């Protein structure tokens, strides 16, 4: 079993590095029948791997959506407070 390039390297701890390594893992596992067979022994299915791959793929945009939602709420609260001060 050959690890995908980059996965035998040191673990990344920053978000971008971790996401990159996670993407390599899922992409590699889904295309390597030996890895799929070994994971199947633990009950890990290709469908579960694909779900994980998609979650990692969408993680950055989900993070920014949450940030934008929080920022929008903060801005609305500030604007409401400012409007009550000026009245």
C-alpha torsion angle, residues 50, 52, 16, 75 (rounded to 10):
120
One digit per residue, the tens of pLDDT, for the chain of length 87 reads 555 655 566 777 777 888 888 889 999 999 999 999 999 999 999 999 999 999 988 876 545 555 555 656 666 666 666 666 665
Tell me how far apart the terminal alpha carbons of the chain are, to the nearest angstrom: 71
Provide the pLDDT for residue 58: 82
Provide the H-helix boundaries in the chain: 15-31, 33-40, 46-85
- pLDDT of 16 reads 80
Contacts of 10 (CB under 8 A, 6+ apart): none
pTM given for the model: 0.58
Name the DSSP letter for residue 8. T
Residue 38: what pLDDT? 94
pLDDT at 13: 76
């Amino acid at each position: 079993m050959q690890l995908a390039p980059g996965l035998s390297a040191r673990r990344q701890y920053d978000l971008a590095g971790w996401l990159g390594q996670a993407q390599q893992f899922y992409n590699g596992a889904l295309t390597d029948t030996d890895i799929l067979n070994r994971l199947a022994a633990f009950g890990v299915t290709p469908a579960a791997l694909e779900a994980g791959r998609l979650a990692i793929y969408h993680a950055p945009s989900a993070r920014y959506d949450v940030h934008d939602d929080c920022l929008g709420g903060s801005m609305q609260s500030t604007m409401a407070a400012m409007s009550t001060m000026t009245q």
